[in-house]
């Protein structure tokens, strides 16, 4: 079990590959649990939906090995950006 995802900063994208261990670390779901979920719902799709809910639309910082197409993820951590209105306003005034 693994996750393929796209990391997008608005300027460029990276395709990410999370192996079973990284997937477990990020989502708390391992293959056993995933099987269980699919079994209960009688639908394999629930696992993907669950992952999507946890990951998409959120901000992460990622490091890993860049191969041809995929970035093999070694670490992935949620990031928090704080809205610094004063700083942004200063930038607006400079323009």
Partner 1 sequence: MSEDNKSQTQYKREPAVRLFAQELSQTTVAISKEQGEKADRFAPSYSYSPTGARINRVFIVGTLTEIDEIGGDSNFIKGRLVDATGAINIMAGQYQPEVSGILRRLSDKLPAFVAIVGKPNIYKPKDGGSYTSIRPESVQIVDQKAVEMFTAETAKRTVERISLLKKAVSDGNGSEDLKMVIAAYNPNIEDLKNMVRVAIGKIPPNTNNQTTTNGDGGGVKTQPPAPEKGVSKEAAKAELSKDQNVISAHILLKDMCTLSEDGSVGGSVFVDRIVQRKLASADTALTLIKSVMDQGLAYEPTMGRLKAVA
Contacting residues toward partner 1, per CB under 8 A: 6, 8-13, 15, 52-53, 56-59, 66, 68-69, 80-85, 88-89, 91-92, 94-95
Nearer to partner 1 among residue 8 and residue 20 (C-beta): 8
Q: Could you say which DSSP state residue 46 is in?
A: H
- The answer to whether residues 71 and 64 touch, using CB atoms and an 8 Å cutoff, is yes
Nearer to partner 1 among residue 31 and residue 41 (C-beta): 41
- Shortest distance in whole angstroms from residue 37 CB to partner 1: 18
Residue 82 CB-density burial (10 A; 0-12 exposed, 13-18 middle, 19+ buried): exposed
- Residue 10: left (phi > 0), alpha (psi -120 to 50), or beta? left
The overall longest dimension of the chain from CA atoms, in Å, is 58
- Shortest distance in whole angstroms from residue 46 CB to partner 1: 13
Nearer to partner 1 among residue 12 and residue 40 (C-beta): 12
- Shortest distance in whole angstroms from residue 26 CB to partner 1: 16
């Amino acid at each position: 079990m693994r996750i393929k995802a796209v990391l997008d900063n608005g300027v460029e994208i990276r395709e990410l590959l999370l192996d079973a261990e990284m997937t477990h670390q990020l989502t708390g779901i391992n293959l056993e649990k995933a099987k269980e979920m699919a079994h209960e719902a009688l639908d394999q799709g629930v696992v993907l939906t669950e992952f999507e809910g946890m990951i998409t639309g959120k901000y992460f910082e990622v490091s890993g090995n860049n191969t041809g197409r995929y970035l093999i993820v070694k670490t992935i951590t949620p990031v928090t950006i704080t809205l610094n209105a004063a700083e942004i306003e200063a930038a607006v005034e400079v323009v």
